[in-house]
Amino acid sequence: MLQPDWPAPTGVRSLCTTRIGGASAAPYDSLNLGDHVGDDPAAVRANRKLLEQATGVRPVFLQQVHGVDVVALSGDTPDGTQADGCVSTQPGVACTIMVADCLPVLFADSQGRAVAAAHAGWRGLAGEGGIGVLENAHSQFRAAAGEGGETLVWLGPCIGPAAFEVGDEVRAAFESHDPASAALFHPHTPGKWLADLQGLARLRLAALGLTRIYGNDGSDAWCTVGNPSRFFSHRRDRISGRFAACIWLG
């Protein structure tokens, strides 16, 4: 597992799993946490139990739909709740985001009062009218944390800027809101671009006034596609497991 390197306050815990150390057989080998990708359900349950043991709290697994909805977690929030972001002020539950190329984004309040997590694929990141999953997650997170304090953000592994080929419609979705997004798309083949997903997320976070952003910087070590021994990648393998980033109070 990866331990995020960021100055989160005492009482805020976080981790990011890799594909290593679980019970699943190929092509889901081995710590697959997704119950919707065709893996043996018993293996997924065993893997999720390993994550629960590692965190010491209950990870809440959302039904992620590449949308912008964000939910507040409590001890009885059921797995499978449909949302692409979550916020918590309660110990005992972990905000948990599953990915296999999309970007997991963790939020922490510098005073340790709230945490949040978001699933940022390009659709959720772009949103509608400049309001996407990061804007919604940050809004609900700051409301939960209260006045004062700073927001710290950690970006996990995702598809890298040398691997994320997208069409004209993706570029247009970002540029229509912020022309500065153009710098994060590079021509690849006719009608296709290479997009910097973590860079696009950083741009949206900066527009929210957030400056304390850590983790994924777009370098090769963070690329899910380019590191098959460490990370699941749907774009690379098509049939793929899911790893997860978690954050909790405790």
Residue 1 half-sphere exposure, CB side, CA atoms within 13 Å? 18
Q: How confident is the model at residue 178 (pLDDT cuts 50, 70, 90)?
A: very high
Q: Three-state SS for 203?
A: helix
CATH number for the domain harbouring residue 241: 3.60.140.10
Mean pLDDT of 68-81: 97
Whether residue 201 lies inside any domain: the answer is no
Residue 168 lies in a domain: no
- Rounded to the nearest integer, the mean pLDDT of the chain is 97
What is the pLDDT, as a whole number, of residue 62? Answer: 98
H-only helix segments in the chain: 41-55, 122-126, 133-145, 168-175, 197-207, 234-237
Residue 100: CB atoms within 10 A of its CB come to: 24
Domain span at residue 22 reads 12-158+212-249
Residue 92 forms part of a structural domain: yes
In a domain, 184, yes or no: no
Full-model pTM: 0.98
List pLDDT tens digits, range 40-53.
Answer: 999 999 999 999 99
pLDDT at 245: 98
Backbone region of residue 238 per phi and psi (left: phi > 0; alpha: psi in -120 to 50; beta: other values) = left
Identify the pLDDT of residue 237.
98
- What pLDDT, on a 0 to 100 scale, did the predictor assign at position 46? 98
206 belongs to a structural domain = no
For residue 240, give the nearest of 84, 101, 45 by alpha carbon: 101
pLDDT (mean) for 109-127: 98
Whether 84 maps to a domain, the answer reads: yes
Is 5 among the domain residues?
no
| Domain assignment of residue 100, yes or no | yes
Residue 165: predicted pLDDT: 98
Structural domains in the chain (count) = 1
